Amino acid sequence: AQSVTQPDARVTVSEGASLQLRCKYSYFGTPYLFWYVQYPRQGLQLLLKYYPGDPVVQGVNGFEAEFSKSNSSFHLRKASVHWSDWAVYFCAVSMLSGSFNKLTFGAGTRLAVCP
Amino acid sequence: EAGVTQSPRYAVLQEGQAVSFWCDPISGHDTLYWYQQPRDQGPQLLVYFRDEAVIDNSQLPSDRFSAVRPKGTNSTLKIQSAKQGDTATYLCASSPGTGKDTQYFGPGTRLLVL
């Protein structure tokens, strides 16, 4: 069965510093991978998605992620964090079931940004 | 374009009471998903529809949970006889329908069962 592990429950960075949020997946076959962000009292918003191809994908607001098949990873990165990035970040893997996209999410990483 | 809307935003119940959650997907999206998100966890898929048909409800926790989408647009998720373990945020998402399409999420309904 597919699964996602986000090993860091909480991460704190200073504003302007670089960021990496880790994601490890378990999936038999070629995965489709996603990063979503959840701001307080809001639904999930898509940051970026990976479909087989270029391993580095660009997303919104300066985020990017790199797929590694050898490491079973899909880490999220940002060069310079802004205070507005304070949120919870979820990594997800998709299992295509027929023509349907069934997402399995990790537990999330809470990002705090210090001034 | 309006996003996915959900109501109510919050619900507080005593154990044993029933509650319904309502979801209005993005217009034209034929696939609708319901997720349960316990506190400090990721969303977990409960059920999903293509138009009015249930495609998979195998993850609905028990026969206390039911979901319908009678006209292939709005959907209702109902919990009969709620338990404290049902405390969570219930998220609705919709997508245009093909397998690789992005799911768009609503703001969720936060349920507290006392």
The full set of domain ranges for chain B reads 5-113
CB-based contact B99 A99, cutoff 8 Å: yes
CB-based contact B41 A92, cutoff 8 Å: no
| CA gap A71, A54 in Å, rounded | 16
SS (H, E, C) chain B: CCCCEEECCEEEECCCCCEEEEEECCCCCCEEEEEEECCCCCCEEEEEEECCEEEECCCCCCCCEEEECCCCCCEEEEECCCCHHHCEEEEEEEECCCCCCCCEECCCEEEEEC
Mean pLDDT score across all residues of chain A: 92
Q: Which residues in chain B (50-79) have CB-CB distances under 8 A to chain A?
A: 50, 55-56
CA triple A29-B45-B17, angle to 5 deg = 165
User: Would you state the pLDDT for residue B12?
Assistant: 97
CB-based contact A46 B101, cutoff 8 Å: no
Q: What is the pLDDT of residues B33-69, one digit of tens each?
A: 999 999 989 999 999 999 999 988 888 987 899 999 9
CATH number at residue A27: 2.60.40.10
Whether the bond between B8 and the residue before it is cis, its omega within 30 degrees of 0, is yes
Tokens of B17: 């009471």
| Number of structural domains in chain A | 1
| CA gap A72, A99 in Å, rounded | 24
Q: What is the pLDDT of residues A78-109, one digit of tens each?
A: 999 999 999 999 999 987 666 667 889 999 99
User: With 90 as the cut, is the pLDDT of residue B99 above it?
Assistant: no
Choices 3.40.50.1010, 1.10.8.420, 3.40.50.2000, 2.60.40.10: CATH for B5-113? 2.60.40.10
3-state secondary structure of A6: coil
Nearest Cα residue in chain A from B6: A43
Domain interval for residue A92: 3-114
| CA gap A12, A30 in Å, rounded | 32
Residue range B74-80: mean pLDDT, rounded: 96
